[in-house]
Amino acid sequence: MRLLRRPSSVLLLRSSLRSFGSGLNYDDYPASRADLPPLVIAHGMLGSASNWASVAKRINQSTGRRQGVPNVLVLVWCIAIHADCIPFRVVAYDARNHGGSYHSTPMDHDSMADDLALLMEEDLDVGTAAVMGHSMGGRTAMLAALRDPLAVERLFVVDVSPVNYERVRKSSSAF
């Protein structure tokens, strides 16, 4: 691991461990208290952790403040996790076959949910986390929550539903 300083003076722990744990690349925005569950962000198809960097930084910085929350998404996040003057650890990771993470087959939601569980257990060393997933990452997060409800303390799913879209397309063709 190497420690990086960003121009905005946000401390970022960049992990590039490829041969240990999950093998996933991730950006870790640490908090002052390690005992609180982090927010883990899973990106969508063709995305990467860097797609969520500005949101991750903003949540990490803003959840520690009682006033002046400038962003609706951050405000919703603060209300949802009952933030009270404590900066939360935020981790955005690259799914397999994306960004700086390893490339392999298979490429399915079962494998990606396994990867998320390994990331949390072995790389981040957390027993529970809030997980936010966008599109493909949302499906991965939902499956991870179904498999281990105690590991996913809160689930935020963005821009995808648990509906089987293939079935919806076939049934809507009758109209």
For residue 57, which phi and psi values (nearest 5 degrees)?
-60, -45
Alpha helices in the chain (DSSP H): 53-62, 72-81, 109-118, 136-147, 165-172
Give the pTM: 0.74
Angle between helices 53-62 and 72-81 (to 10 degrees): 50
Q: What is the Cα–Cα distance from 116 to 60, expressed in whole angstroms?
A: 20
Q: Where are the alpha helices (DSSP H) in 10-71?
A: 53-62
Alpha-carbon torsion, ordered 24, 81, 142, 116, to 10 deg: 20
CA dist 156 and 154 (Å) reads 7
Tokens representing 86 are: 């404590």
For the chain, the structural domain boundaries read 2-164
Q: In what order do the strands lie in the sheet with 11-15?
A: 2-5, 11-15, 26-29, 90-93, 39-42, 129-134, 152-158
Tens-binned pLDDT, residue by residue, of the chain (175 aa): 333 333 334 455 544 433 357 889 999 988 876 777 899 999 999 999 999 998 888 888 766 544 444 455 555 555 565 555 456 789 999 999 999 999 998 999 999 999 999 999 999 999 999 999 999 999 999 999 999 999 999 899 998 888 776 655 555 444 3
Q: 2-164 has which fold? A: Rossmann fold (3.40.50)
Task: Please measure the distance between the N-terminal and C-terminal CA atoms of the chain and give it in whole angstroms.
Answer: 55
Nearest in space to 8 (alpha carbons), one of 41, 57, 55:
57
Partners of residue 145 on adjacent β-strands? none
* Residue 166: other Cβ atoms inside 10 A: 8
